[in-house]
Amino acid sequence: MISTAGWNRSPLEHYSKGLKVLDIGFQNTAVCESRITHIDGNLGKIQFRQYSLDYLLEHHDFIEVAYLLIWGHLPSCAETQNFEGELFKQSNPPGIVIDVVRNFPRGTPNFLIIVAGLSAWAAYSADHIPIHAGENIYLGSPDAVDSGIIRTMSALSVVIALTSYHQQGKQFRSPDARNSFVGNQLLMMGIVNSETGKPELWTERQLNKLWIIYADHEMTNSTAAFLHVTSTLADPISGCMTSLLSGSGPLHAGAIDLAYRSFQQIGSKENVAKLIADVKAKKQRLFGYGHRIYKTVDPRIYHLRKMMDDLAGRAASNPLLSIAMEIDRIASQDTYFTSRNLKANADLYGCFVFSALGFEPEIITATAAMARSSGVMAHWREAMSDRPNIWRPQQVFTGVVL
């Protein structure tokens, strides 16, 4: 539906009669301009700033890629050290956060615990919340934005680890100033060498790669949710909570968790053929296959498969991997999928790489969200350098007008 109120009309007339495009699900609507991430869905390429994903995976660590996304250039050694140092300074959880996390039943969905923990963290430093301070804090204030980025990423990292430990009934381990940001995530989540009590460098290198793969994916639902909230000039931790809840849905990042669970329900690769038949008959949904953006192979799949080769026995020891591989084998040869350009996406194999590195299945989606926070923060920083523009989409009323 397209209509126009014409030129030289009042704002009210433009709102009620002006240009209006009905685009359900925003499938063809661009909500902003950005210099951060470019995805070519036809060629299957991802670009962060002026670098290809392939190049960054080969030559850089996650913290450097996060810096690139947020501040627009690859950091010097001094900038990297300062970035990690600032993240570490903000990584001491307030007591109220620990209490909130521990008061949840251990079987509670982890996203609810994480959001509550972040809410407690924000409450502990309420001066950073614009409505509490009684003024705009972030728009047009790059120093305040940069501080908010550090505070939000640190809070999310720690609360994810606190939640994981709580659900496993274990004691939380504080980060170590001698570790990298990624190394401290492993330390805080107990993924360490049993003898030294420290993260293994090999595991840290693999997690660096995995987090780079998940660092950003342009204007996803959860990124848009974050920007929607913060377009009102809300604080970044509040935006992060919204983004996490958006990501927990089964049609978004929650698909990582549901893909893993669906493999458990299938039971063995001998049952995959029936699953595929049910999917084609629209009796079941196939998680880990197909993507709105890609008309060819999801480029992240190539790197995830390579990581599984590097992980060798660790990934292969997971009995569910054979199910995922059988799904990929059958679907990639079936005209139902090939004629629709439906191919494997990152959700099909990503869960196995996380699992092989030692992450519990229940916390995998949240850990992927930690990686994505770097991209989300980059988009927020970009938005806060622009003019204020609250996101307020319109609708097409289909009821009876009185």
In this predicted structure, the answer to whether residue 8 has a pLDDT above a threshold of 60 is no
Alpha helices (runs of H) in 200-250, residue ranges in sequence order? 201-213, 221-230, 236-247
Contacts of 170 (CB under 8 A, 6+ apart): 190
Contact predicate 121/182, CB 8 Å: no
pLDDT tens profile 215-248: 999 999 999 999 999 999 999 999 999 999 999 9
Structural Rg of the chain based on CA atoms: 22
> Rounded to an integer, what distance in angstroms lies between the CA atom of residue 118 and that of residue 120?
5
Helices and strands (DSSP H and E) totals, the chain: 20, 3
Contact predicate 298/346, CB 8 Å: yes
Q: Is 31 helix (H, G, I), strand (E, B) or coil?
A: coil
Contacts of 369 (CB under 8 A, 6+ apart): 156, 160, 222, 243, 244, 247, 253
Q: Please say if 386 is a catalytic residue.
A: no
Structure tokens at 170: 């274990």
Instruction: Tell me the CA distances in angstroms from 211 to 2, 335, 373, 374, one per residue in order.
Output: 42, 33, 10, 10
pLDDT tens profile 99-121: 999 999 999 999 999 999 999 99
> Rounded to an integer, what distance in angstroms lies between the CA atom of residue 266 and that of residue 275?
8
Per domain, the residue ranges of the chain are 49-249+366-384, 254-357
pLDDT tens profile 371-386: 999 999 999 999 999 8
In this predicted structure, the answer to whether residue 1 has a pLDDT above a threshold of 50 is no
- pLDDT band for position 72 (50/70/90)? very high
Per annotation, catalytic residue among 128, 298, 347, 379:
347
Alpha carbon of residue 162 to chain centroid: 19
Q: What is the pTM of this model?
A: 0.91
Per annotation, catalytic residue among 60, 166, 228, 291:
291
Which one is predicted more confidently, 173 or 10?
173
> Rounded to an integer, what distance in angstroms lies between the CA atom of residue 353 and that of residue 256?
11
> Rounded to an integer, what distance in angstroms lies between the CA atom of residue 254 and that of residue 366?
9
Q: For residue 83, which of 66, 95, 100, 98 has the smallest C-alpha distance?
A: 66
- pLDDT band for position 89 (50/70/90)? very high
pLDDT tens profile 285-315: 888 787 878 878 889 999 998 998 888 777 6
> Rounded to an integer, what distance in angstroms lies between the CA atom of residue 258 and that of residue 107?
17
Structure tokens at 302: 């190539």
Q: For residue 344, which of 395, 397, 278, 287 has the smallest C-alpha distance?
A: 287
Q: Please say if 347 is a catalytic residue.
A: yes
Residue with tokens 């090939």: 338
In this predicted structure, the answer to whether residue 127 has a pLDDT above a threshold of 80 is yes
The CATH class of the 49-249+366-384 domain is mainly alpha
pLDDT (mean) for 236-262 = 89
pLDDT tens profile 315-371: 677 788 888 888 889 998 999 998 988 888 888 888 889 988 999 989 999 999 999
Contact predicate 256/365, CB 8 Å: yes
Instruction: Tell me the CA distances in angstroms from 114 to 101, 359, 363, 373, one per residue in order.
Output: 8, 16, 11, 14
Residue with tokens 């640190």: 154
In this predicted structure, the answer to whether residue 9 has a pLDDT above a threshold of 60 is no
**So what's the architecture of 254-357 in CATH?**
Orthogonal Bundle (1.10)
Contact predicate 350/326, CB 8 Å: no
Structure tokens at 383: 């938005």
Given phi > 0 = left and psi -120 to 50 = alpha, else beta, which region is 66? alpha
What pLDDT, on the 0 to 100 scale, is given for residue 285? Answer: 85
pLDDT tens profile 134-177: 999 999 999 999 999 999 999 999 999 999 999 999 889 999 99
Strand-pairing partners, residue 46, are 39
Burial 364-379 (b: 16+ CB within 10 A, else e): bbbbbbbbbbbbbbbb
